[in-house]
Structure 1
Amino acid sequence: MDLDRFCRRYLEQWDERATVRGLARYRVSEAETARELFPARLQPLAAHRLVRSRGAGTARELLIRTAYQWQSDIAALEVEVVADLCGKLANEGPGCAIPDSTRQVALTIATDETYHAFVAREFIADVERVTGFEPPALPGSEPALVKGVRVTREGSPAELRREVETMALCFAEHFVTESLFGLSKETEPDNAFHVAVREHLIDEGRHQGFFRHLMGHLWAGLDEERRIALGRAAPLFLDAFLCDFETIGRSNIRMLSQCGFTPEEADRINRDTARAMARGKRLGKAEMPHAQHCLVLARAAGLLGHAPTREAFIERGWIVPEACGAA
């Protein structure tokens, strides 16, 4: 399906399917906050013996603060990155010719994402009102996506700015959709965090399809010189976006400190947990589970079928030579 046809159909469906247009907002109740708000199995810090020694109350607070962090990052990246870049996509284009219908879809997505930020902050406020746990100042630390776009933009030629930003947007929306889907599978259907994530996914599934089409359209419309330049930038963006473990560590230490642990204890818990997770799992970038969806998009859009780009991905460790034929 060509991009214009896809976008026209998308616009026809937006009024009926967008949560901002037709779905009453979900609000967190007091009873729901008494249950596990974020899945413990997805927060390995909760299994550390120092956390467990503090009892169920500390574990509950840590999981609530983990939910805060997720929603805080959503509130930040949806406005600072996604809505902003969608506005640029509508007004300036992606770096290649696009139909007017694509510009209109970009505006609907900017609208959706700003609404998602509103709902994320409302979720935090609802939980704070019931539990009394004060959330971190939004957005907390610089989210990985914000850093990824900034680093890649700064490291790319100025004349390639729109192509780089569009590529980052396509990768990010593909990744976020799959991450939210994974979270929804790990939580119970009547869990407050699950309900919030599922509502978000109503829109993100459509967004993912749009950005998959847009990435292929962008790549197909580039001349060889710009393909080579964008192909070099792509793995650099993935490095900054998916491998920012220092920021994750700082977020972990901040949450633990808010739960009452001393700076030394928080650092120890974070380091012990990181070592435990790495033990026996020395995965390269190409093997990291959370990277697979971005690599799938790179293949589907044609990036890894382009020899210079494929070599750039190999040099940065995002694909291994043995996998080149399959790419």
Structure 2
Amino acid sequence: MSVDEYRSAFVRWDSQASVRTKPLREATEARDFYYPPELVTGHEVLRSSLGPEQVRRLLTLHLYAYLDFTVQLESLVVLPVTTLLGTGRSGLELPIAMRRDAMAITTDEAWHGQFTFDLIERIADQTGVPPCLPETYEFQRVRGRLRESIEPTLRPAFDLLITYVSETLISTKLLMLPRDERLPTYVREVVADHGQDERRHHAYFRALLPHFWRSLGMRDRAVLGALIPEMIVAFLGQDEAMERHCLTEAGMRPDRAAETVRGFREVFAAGRLLQDSRACVRYLVELGAVNQDMIEERLAA
């Protein structure tokens, strides 16, 4: 497909989008698990060192953090960019169909934020575990640092690129939660609704990438391309501050929580970064935007 051809993934948006067809999910059965233990760094060690109630609380806190991460990402990163794309203020010359689909994504992402916020409240009511959320997440800290490191004129392009990265990563969490029958049905359904929409968003940003990349000069491509591995790690890498927060809120002393998380650095499954970012990186490599070996080397470090 040439850069000027566009095959919309949103032809059936009105009959398929969760905002058009799916209700707010009502809380159903309570379960012992609200989040897969396997997604918690060092889960085997933690399950042997914490009591059953602390483990249950820890898993619920990790689910809150995952859901709140989604709200923060959609609201602070994705929505501003898709609004600019849809209203023709992104600096890119896009076909009207791509602008229309960007507006559909804007609607989707606002809905994702809303139903995720609602889900947190329902889980809190059902479990009795207060949604004590981290003040910020690693992706926000890294995004702020990287954005400040480049000249102001390049920051709008940075915003679009990091949105592309976030929308084309296929996270293990988004795939695993809907399939895990240990979790309450309504939790699985909400995450599945989100995932179905995200497949359309993924297709959109894959199609957008050539339009975006060809709009950049060689120097700007070099500056932004060098930041891509850190962008990927920001979304998929270990968030030690979040992990300390969850352990502390689950009842572990702050000093022990900090020591425990530090000890998990070598346990973190770095291979997951390569797996979850495979599609995102492949599209960039096909375009000549990055070197495959460089990306793999930096993600595996």
| Normalised-by-shorter TM-score class | 0.7 to 0.9
1:220 matched residue in structure 2:
214
Q: What is the CA deviation profile of residues 139-161 of structure 1, one whole-angstrom value per residue up to 9, with x for unaligned ones?
A: x2433443444333322333333
Partner of 2:280: 294
Secondary structure, counterpart of 1:68 in structure 2: helix
Matched, 1:275 2:274: no
Letter of the structure 1 residue corresponding to residue 289 of structure 2: L
Aligned equivalent of 1:16: 15
Deviation of 1:244 (Å): 7.8
Question: Partners of 1:216 and 1:111 in 2: how far apart?
Answer: 24
Equivalent residues of 1:149, 1:237 under 8 A apart: no
C-alpha RMSD of the superposition: 3.0
Q: 1:64 to 1:319 in 2, by over 3 A?
A: closer
Identify the residue that residue 86 of structure 2 maps to in structure 1. 90
1:6 is the counterpart of 2:12:
no
Change (3 A) 1:186 1:235: farther
* Distance of 1:297 and 1:151 partners within structure 2: 25
Distance 1:190 1:59 in 2: 14
Say if 2:10 and 2:101, in contact at 8 Å, map to a contact too.
yes
TM-score normalized by the length of structure 2: 0.85
Does residue 65 (structure 1) correspond to residue 61 (structure 2)? The answer is: yes
C-alpha separation in 1, matches of 2:141 and 2:94: 27
The Cα offsets for residues 52-74 of structure 1, whole Å up to 9 and x where unpaired, read as 34322111111111101100100
Is 1:248–2:239 an aligned residue pair? yes
Distance 1:148 1:296 in 2: 23
Residue 43 (structure 1) aligned to one of 21, 40, 44: 40
* 1:186–1:16 distance in 2 versus 1, CA, 3 Å: closer
Q: Does 1:106 align with 2:102?
A: yes
Distance 1:163 1:202, change over 3 A: same
After superposition, the Cα gap between the structure-2 partners of 1:185 and 1:23, relative to the gap in structure 1 and judged at 3 Å, is: closer
On the 8 A contact 1:148/1:241 being kept in 2, the answer is no
Give the corresponding residue for 1:150: 144
Q: Secondary structure of 1:37's partner?
A: coil
Deviation (angstroms), 1:234: 2.7
Partner of 1:188: 181
Q: State the 1:237 CA deviation.
A: 4.2
Give 1:206 shift: 0.3
The answer to whether structure 1 residue 74 and structure 2 residue 65 are counterparts is: no
Partner of 2:195: 201
User: Counterpart of 2:224?
Assistant: 233
Mean Cα deviation higher: 200-209 or 88-97? 88-97
In structure 2, C-alpha distance between the alignment counterparts of 1:152 and 1:98, rounded to whole Å: 27
Deviations 1:102-136 (A, max 9, x none): 22211111110111011111111001111111112
CA gap 1:250/1:125 in 2 versus in 1, 3 angstroms: same
Cα deviation, 1:8-30, whole Å, max 9, x if unaligned, reads x444321111100111222332x
Say if 1:161 and 1:277 are closer, same or farther in 2 by CA, change over 3 A: closer
CA spacing shift, 1:156–1:69, aligned 2, 3 Å: same
Query: The residue matched to 1:264 in structure 2 has which SS?
Result: helix
Contact kept, 8 Å, 1:96 with 1:221, in 2: the verdict is yes
Distance 1:98 1:117, change over 3 A: same
Letter in 1 for 2:144: R
Q: Please tell me the residue identity of whatever aligns with 1:163.
A: A
Counterpart of 1:318, as a letter, is I
Partner of 1:307: none
**Higher fraction of helix:** 1
Stretches of structure 1 lacking an aligned partner (at least 5 in a row)? 305-309, 322-327
Question: How far apart are 1:3 and its partner, in Å?
Answer: 6.5
Return the alpha-carbon distance in structure 1 between the equivalents of residues 140 and 41 of structure 2.
25
8 A contact 2:35–2:60 mirrored in 1: yes
CA 109–183 in structure 1, closer or farther in 2 if over 3 Å, else same: same
Relative CO higher for 1 or 2, CA cutoff 8 Å, sep ≥ 6?
2
Query: Following the alignment from structure 2 to structure 1, what is the Cα–Cα distance between the partners of residues 140 and 113?
Result: 15
Cα 1:205–1:291 change in 2 (3 A) is closer
Pair 1:181–1:129, CA change in 2 (3 A):
closer
**Count of residue pairs brought into register by the alignment:** 297
